[in-house]
Amino acid sequence: MEQHVNIRALASKLFTHFILIIATMVIGLPFLWMLSTSIKGPTEVAMFPPVWWPKEVRLDNFTTAWNTAPFGRFYINSIVTAAAGVILGVVTAAFAAYAFARIRFKYRDFFFLVMLAAMMIPGQVALIPNYVILAKLNWINTYQGIVVPHIANVFGAFLLRQYFMTIPNDLYDAAQIDGLGHTRTLLHVALPLSRPVLGTLLLYLFIQKWNAYLWPLIVTNKQNMRTLPVGLAMIRSAEYSIGPEHLMAASIFVLMPVLIAYFLAQKQLIEGIAAGAVKG
């Protein structure tokens, strides 16, 4: 009897692994296919059935891809706009979050609802007006044009507010007794205590901005102002006659920083997303 139960438990465990391995393969294969294609020569790219590991590994695909378009410049544009967007986004969110968590004000709840309402408005609705505003400011093809319309982030403010409210009142009271004003309480008490959620938020925002496509596409039309995703999408058009191996190599340029960040911090990121979304 005992043995019978064990065998059944083992079989069920094996079945679970079987299902999850299949799922992992379905999700993982496109990434491997990208990698495999990026190191193939043109003859092996045009082979059916496909070869997974080429006879000759062609790393020169990466240099060819890098030279088809100013990828160095795209990298700089992406790093500058993502970093500026994240820093400004977290700073504004932290101040708003602190105000909503700690500063008493008669209409606070009303303003909080207004802020949450902004989260429900789809950004796609604002594309044309924002373009018109930026054109008037002469901000087309500028870093501030890419960054500024997306600084305000309600999600971040909401997440930080929730976290600030879990910090015991005693700590805030102690700060007050020590004569710290609100700004210094935020900088020296609330933010240092929120390090875990702050790290997740920073990384989450960075990845979101790094991957952004629609807005940078609209607000840039000069090649030297494009971010990586926009530049990558452009080289697929007919004016560049390059093979799939180069397209896959160029895609890896875009993915690399995010994949590294993701695998270093996947646990925090995944759990942060789960916690944030369920509460939200």
Partner 1 sequence: MWTFFAFTGPTFILLAIFIFWPIFYSFYLSLFKWNMVSPRKTFLGLQNYKDMFSDDVFKLVVKNTLIMAFFTVVVKMAISLYLATQLNKKIRLSNFYRAIIFSPTFTANVAIAMVWAWIFEPTYGLMRSFLRPLGLPMIDWLKSTSHSLPAVIIVLIWSGIGYDMVLFLAALKNVPLEIYEAAIVDGANPFQTFWKITFPLISPTTFFLTITGFINVLKAFDIARIMTEGGPLNSSNVYVHYLYQNAFQWFRAGYASALALVLFLFIMFITLIQNRLSKSWVHY
- Binding residues among 135-174 for partner 1 as defined by CB under 8 A: 148-152, 154, 157
Q: Identify residues 218-247 at the interface with partner 1 (CB under 8 A).
A: 218, 228-230, 232-233, 236, 244, 247
Q: Cβ closer to partner 1: 30 or 192?
A: 30
Instruction: Name the minimum Å distance from CB 134 to partner 1.
Output: 10
Residue carrying the six token digits 């005992």: 2
Instruction: Name the minimum Å distance from CB 275 to partner 1.
Output: 7
Q: Is there binding between residue 92 and partner 1 (CB under 8 A)?
A: yes
Residue carrying the six token digits 């403010």: 157
Length of the chain: 280
Task: Find all residues with CB under 8 Å of 241, minimum gap 6, and list them.
Answer: none
Among 7, 10, 11, 23, interactor with partner 1 by CB under 8 A:
23
Among 1, 5, 26, 177, interactor with partner 1 by CB under 8 A:
26
Backbone torsions φ then ψ of 252, nearest 5 degrees: -65, -35
Residue carrying the six token digits 């438990």: 9
Q: Report d(CA 146, CA 229) in Å as an integer.
A: 13
- Binding marks (x or -) toward partner 1, 119..138, rule CB under 8 A? -xxxxxxxxxxxxxx-----
Reduced to 3 states, what is the DSSP secondary structure of residue 122? coil
Among 11, 171, 264, 274, interactor with partner 1 by CB under 8 A:
274
Q: Is there binding between residue 45 and partner 1 (CB under 8 A)?
A: yes
Q: Is there binding between residue 260 and partner 1 (CB under 8 A)?
A: no
Q: Report d(CA 130, CA 119) in Å as an integer.
A: 17
The site for partner 1, by CB under 8 A, has a size of: 91
Q: Rg of the chain over CA atoms, in angstroms? A: 24
